[in-house]
Amino acid sequence: MRNKKLAASLTALVGVLAVGLSACSSSKSSGSGSSAAGAANGVDSITVAASPVPHAQILDYIRDNLAAKAGLKLTVKEFTDYVQPNLATQDGEVGANYFQHKPYLDDFNKSKGTDLVPVVGVHLEPLGLYSHKAKSLDQIKDGATIAVPNDATNEGRALKLLADNNLITLKPGAGTTATEKDVASNPKHLKFKPLEAAELPRALDDVDAAVINGNYALQAKLTPDKDALALEKTQDNPYVNLLVVKKGHENDPAVKKLAALLTSDQVKQYIEKTFNGSVIPAG
């Protein structure tokens, strides 16, 4: 009889331990990536992948000044390239990302087989042409080497900037994925050097000029509206930077809260005051 009572007690203890271990495991597996509602306090959590400047900087401002009042726990994870943030979002390592525009997102989904979708447009970073060797477009010499981003959409965007400033012309119908093959005329016999976008500022001493994405220009302490020889026009520009999630998570509570904060008047004012025209709020 005593042995039966002991066995029953051990069985009950094992059951309690199993429930406890299961609860611990569930807590750890919730992960920092997916947005999840808090228990009784109404706080939602999300981790967002972002380029350091200006994206992570804007998110840091939200985290430190606005998130708590909105019932949001925000974690920012910085990436310095344009590939890993999307892969991390697709895999659920993070709940969202903030670094890219729609043409790049569409091209990435098509080439990588991902199903990422935009939630809201936040800001525009005008693409610029920079040089350590020329102080104006007129000083770009015949046969100059121009470094451009090597991803499909930003290369086309860079070529359009050069065309808009009469350095080259593009074939009719050349769109956001234009390449060097779409150059119709090249009166200065420019040579193009495709590079990873993050490498472009470091290449300025090795090339005659470089077309640099706004976030990488800011990281390199370049001021687009002062230092650029030519700057992308903002009117009717399709390259607004987006908050992006994996399809099906657009209406997650944390995503909706973050989208509202990113487009709030407070954040628009912060962007305008902090970046002095180098980053422009959308809308």
Domain count, the chain: 2
6 lies in some domain: no
* Whole-number pLDDT of residue 206: 98
Is this structure's pTM higher than 0.85? no
Non-local (6+) Cβ contacts of 60 within 8 A are 76
CB 86 within 8 A of CB 71: no
139 and 89 assigned to the same domain: no
Cis ω before 187 (30° cut-off from 0): no
Token reading at 188: 């200065």
* Whole-number pLDDT of residue 181: 96
Task: Report d(CA 281, CA 241) in Å as an integer.
Answer: 10
81 and 105 assigned to the same domain: yes
Task: Report d(CA 243, CA 266) in Å as an integer.
Answer: 17
CB 97 within 8 A of CB 48: yes
Where helices occur in the chain by DSSP H, the ranges are: 2-29, 57-65, 84-91, 102-112, 152-164, 214-219, 224-227, 253-262, 265-275
Task: Report d(CA 145, CA 208) in Å as an integer.
Answer: 5
> What's the length of the chain?
283
Encode 49-118 in three state secondary structure: EECHHHHHHHHHHHHHHCCCCCCEEEEEEECCCCCHHHHHHHHCCCCEEEEEEHHHHHHHHHHHCCCEEE
224 and 274 assigned to the same domain: no
CB 153 within 8 A of CB 103: yes
Burial class (CB in 10 A: 0-12, 13-18, 19+), 64: exposed
Task: Report d(CA 148, CA 191) in Å as an integer.
Answer: 10
* Whole-number pLDDT of residue 33: 62
75 and 157 assigned to the same domain: no
Q: What residues of the chain score a pLDDT lower than 70?
A: 1-40
96 and 168 assigned to the same domain: no
264 lies in some domain: yes
12 lies in some domain: no
What's the CATH number where 182 sits?
A: 3.40.190.10
171 and 227 assigned to the same domain: yes
Distances (CA, A) of 6 to 1, 12, 15, 16: 9, 10, 14, 15
**End-to-end C-alpha distance for the chain, whole angstroms:** 78
* Whole-number pLDDT of residue 152: 83
* Full domain range(s) for residue 53: 36-125+239-281
23 lies in some domain: no
